[in-house]
Amino acid sequence: MFVDIAKIKIKAGDGGDGVVSFHREKYVAAGGPDGGDGGKGGNIIFVVDDNLATLADFRYKRKYTAENGKNGDKGKRNGKKADDLIIKVPRGTIIKEVESGTVMADMSDNDSFIAAKGGRGGWGNNHFATATRQAPRFAKNGTPGEEWEISLELKLLADVGLLGFPNVGKSTLISVISQAKPIIANYHFTTLTPVLGVVSMGEGNSFVMADIPGLIEGASEGIGLGHEFLRHIERCRMLVHIVDVAGSEGRNPIDDFNAINAELERFNPELAHRPQIVVANKVDLATQEQLDSFEQYIKDKGYEYFTVIAPIAQGTKELVNAMWGKLQTLPPIKRYEREEIPLEVLEQKQDDKFTITINDGVYFVEAKWLIKILHKIDYDDYESLQYLQRVLQTSGIFDALVEKGIQEGDTVSIYDIEFDYVP
């Protein structure tokens, strides 16, 4: 079964904990702190695999978790860093954060994408030794790894999209003008997955064509296989609309043409303005009256018009040359720009829980919901720091610190950051 959209949960690995340890050696009366740091948790990284054509691998497995970093050890030995979890997706996959719909990445190039960052390892007590605190008996826990609910949506990368009703000859056409080998038969929906074909123009020039499985009226509302395939047209630089001009299945070719275009506009109004060439197929089965009537209607609409008999490649050379010429005037295939997830989404908490512990005058604050916010804070930007301060105030963390007896100048430690408290 063709699957081109999936929703999954990802969780990067937590950082390993730092440890409390003191150097012990014969004849050494008071060894100093030697607790090692925890290892970093594994990232979750998406990469493109051109051997994949669908998102079917995500149909049953919906949760992906990277390994945690190892805890530190005595002797200033740091914990082992966890391996990253690599997730392979087809080229053209869009990764979105579910809550906000924000585009996190467009996997159209060869660049990998870190979707969830592993937590940092916690510091061992070796890090906390100072002139006045020579034997710290505390260490930091590792920070939790990022976790997200994301959607994966495959939008094929093709220069030209073939569209039209089922059984109008799209598969035959792409098999004739490219090296693609789609299933061809005289019944509806023989093509159940989009087929890509490379059309060679000689001297190293070529373009990619996609055979989009047959659409029917109501496709924009999900009828038939509509939504599963309409999204693949969105990236195409231009469209080639194949019509059975003979009406061999009892339909009117003009009604077919208008019905498909109406579905495109309802699904995405931008598609109504996408450059489109209209191709009348099965002309050998049509009457002269049908041919003249349809041609006049299409040209009155301002579309380029061609006639072909796809099985014997009649008229296909002229059509291919026209497509190539048109593509030279069009912008490149659409890429989706990465967006920043709104801070309001990051601030939405599953709970308001936080803990405060005190060790040797340091106030340690832990709250899992803060992790995503801390990752987005620019500590060199005043407004960003002001935002963090508002979050700490409205969440009740500052009030809780006061209740714990914090004084001006005391150190507050929140995962990766430390600062002196100022009331």
Among the listed residues 261, 225, 222, the one whose alpha carbon sits nearest the alpha carbon of residue 242: 261
Q: Are 137 and 20 in contact (CB under 8 A)?
A: yes
Q: Delineate the domains of the chain, giving CATH numbers in brackets.
A: 1-154 (2.70.210.12), 160-327 (3.40.50.300), 342-423 (3.30.300.350)
Mean pLDDT value of segment 206-225: 62
- What is the rounded CA–CA span in Å between residue 46 and residue 89? 7
User: Between 170 and 278, whose confidence is greater?
Assistant: 278
110-124, 199-213, 291-305: range with lowest mean pLDDT: 199-213
147-151, 194-198, 346-350: range with lowest mean pLDDT: 346-350
Residue 44 has pLDDT above 90, yes or no: yes
Confidence at residue 225, expressed as pLDDT on a 0 to 100 scale: 43
End-to-end CA gap in the chain: 61
User: Between 56 and 181, whose confidence is greater?
Assistant: 56
- Strand ranges of the sheet holding 362-366, from the earlier edge strand across to the other edge: 355-359, 362-366, 411-414, 417-420
Residue tagged 């301060």 (tokens): 389
State the amino acid at position 33 in one-letter form.
P
- What is the rounded CA–CA span in Å between residue 85 and residue 152? 17
State the amino acid at position 334 in one-letter form.
K
Confidence at residue 181, expressed as pLDDT on a 0 to 100 scale: 65
12-21, 129-138, 198-207, 249-258: range with lowest mean pLDDT: 129-138
Give the burial string for 221-260 (b: 16+ CB within 10 Å, else e): eeebbbebbbbbbbbbbbbbbbbbbbbeeeeebbebbebb
Percent share of the chain, pLDDT over 90 = 39
- What is the rounded CA–CA span in Å between residue 177 and residue 313? 8
Q: Are 115 and 150 in contact (CB under 8 A)?
A: yes
pTM (two decimals)? 0.76
Q: Could you report the per-residue pLDDT of 358-390, keeping only the tens digit for each?
A: 887 889 888 888 887 887 788 888 888 888 888
Confidence at residue 182, expressed as pLDDT on a 0 to 100 scale: 46
Residue 127 has pLDDT above 80, yes or no: no
Question: What is the pLDDT confidence band of residue 55, given thresholds at 50, 70 and 90?
Answer: confident
58-67, 70-79, 147-156, 173-182: range with lowest mean pLDDT: 173-182
Which residues contact residue 409 at a Cβ distance below 8 angstroms, ignoring those fewer than 6 apart?
420, 421
Residue 114 has pLDDT above 90, yes or no: yes
Q: Could you report the per-residue pLDDT of 312-331, keeping only the tens digit for each?
A: 989 999 999 999 999 999 99
Helix (H, G, I), strand (E, B) or coil at 100: coil
Q: Are 24 and 63 in contact (CB under 8 A)?
A: no
Q: Maximum CA pair distance of the chain?
A: 109
Q: Are 64 and 38 in contact (CB under 8 A)?
A: no
Mean pLDDT value of segment 2-20: 87
Confidence at residue 54, expressed as pLDDT on a 0 to 100 scale: 82
Composition of the chain by helix, strand, coil, percent to 5: 25, 25, 50
Q: What value does the mean pLDDT of the chain take?
A: 84
Question: What is the pLDDT confidence band of residue 207, given thresholds at 50, 70 and 90?
Answer: very high
- What is the rounded CA–CA span in Å between residue 55 and residue 100? 22
Q: Decide: residue 204, CB within 10 A, 0-12 exposed, 13-18 middle, 19+ buried.
A: exposed
Per-residue tokens: 321: 């040359």
Q: Could you report the per-residue pLDDT of 93-104, keeping only the tens digit for each?
A: 999 999 889 999
- What is the rounded CA–CA span in Å between residue 76 and residue 23? 9
DSSP state string for 326-380: HHTTSPPPP-PPP-PPPHHHHH--S----EEEEETTEEEEE-GGGHHHHHH--TT
Sign of the dihedral defined by the CA atoms of residues 179, 185, 188, 189, in that order:
negative
